[in-house]
Amino acid sequence: MEPLARLGRIGIASLERLGRGHLLLLHIFSGITDLITRPRLLIAQLHSVGVLSMLIITVSGLFVGMVLGLQGFYILSQFGAEETLGVMVAASLVRELGPVVTALLFAGRAGSALTAEIGLMKATEQLSGLEMMAVDPIKRILTPRFMAGLLSMPLLAAIFSAIGVIGGHFVGVGLLGVDEGAYWSQMQAKIDLHEDIYNGVIKSIVFGFVCTWIALFQGHDCVPTSEGVSRATTRTVVHSALAILCLDFVLTALMFGE
């Protein structure tokens, strides 16, 4: 009997959390109109979420691109198809690795930082304090961070992919001798603006939405102790990673199927 009851309790608790998460999301949306009159808040958050992630995204993009160039060359040269290295690097990056790896890195760096920040504000009663000063803490604190995450993600993913293509070029053309003209021309012939680039951007917007939502919810919903905040931060990274990979499969099936 007891295990069944436990299962029931877990199920109900999960549904409650899901419900709270959606209510929080609606509350965050209601603050968007306020945000338009306070651009300073958005700018500060874009800096914290976007600019400060640039370093890790750029470095990772470069190395991923270079590895793709290296591995791709060795595999393709077995079929005499080295010229298609450009297509391989670009397609992998733009369709999959750009949005997904950027989102995972984002969840790890910016997502966990957001959760910790909000959790700490909850633990030190700053959110309560704002409420008692007749300021809505969700609209004032959470909404700018949400919009910043949503806007930053596609830009970061584009930077990742672009730098990755350049990294692949450096390794393939610069070090391994792939023909430069072939690298770019094959790529331009095969990579389609609508199918590949737009879809990649859509993916990164979806990932930005979900990752930022998870990060903000975990911070806002945490137990307001130091242990609670640290657990919430871990949950953000884990849940974000699972969500990203799941959604990636769903989106890829929808977008790239015939």
156 binds another protein (CB under 8 A): yes
- Least Cβ distance, residue 140 to another protein (angstroms): 9
Give the footprint of another protein on residues 195-254 (CB under 8 A).
Answer: 196-197, 201
CB half-sphere exposure, 226, CA atoms < 13 A? 0
How many residues touch another protein under the rule CB under 8 A: the total is: 43
Q: Which amino acid type is present at position 40?
A: R
Chain centre distance of CA 87: 24
- Least Cβ distance, residue 218 to another protein (angstroms): 20
- H or E stretch including 256? helix 226-256
Give the footprint of another protein on residues 15-44 (CB under 8 A).
Answer: 40, 43-44
Chain centre distance of CA 27: 22
Residue 155 to residue 150: CA distance in whole angstroms: 10
- Least Cβ distance, residue 28 to another protein (angstroms): 16
Residue 100 to residue 104: CA distance in whole angstroms: 6
Of 158, 171, 210, 232, the one binding another protein by CB under 8 A: 158
Query: Six-digit token pair at 220?
Result: 């806002």
- Cβ atoms within 10 Å of 123's Cβ, excluding its own: 16
Of 118, 187, 222, 244, the one binding another protein by CB under 8 A: 187
Cβ proximity to another protein: between 160 and 213 the closer is: 160
Do 65 and 168 meet the contact criterion of CB atoms below 8 Å apart?
A: yes
- Least Cβ distance, residue 95 to another protein (angstroms): 11
Chain centre distance of CA 246: 13
- Least Cβ distance, residue 4 to another protein (angstroms): 22
- Least Cβ distance, residue 183 to another protein (angstroms): 11
CA triplet 76, 77, 79: central angle to 5 degrees?
Answer: 70
Q: What string marks each residue from 118 to 147 as x (binds another protein by CB under 8 A) or -? A: ------xxx-xxxxxxxxx-----------
The residue ranges that bind another protein (CB under 8 A) are: 40, 43-44, 46-47, 50-51, 54, 90, 94, 124-126, 128-136, 152, 154-156, 158-159, 161-163, 165, 184, 187-193, 196-197, 201
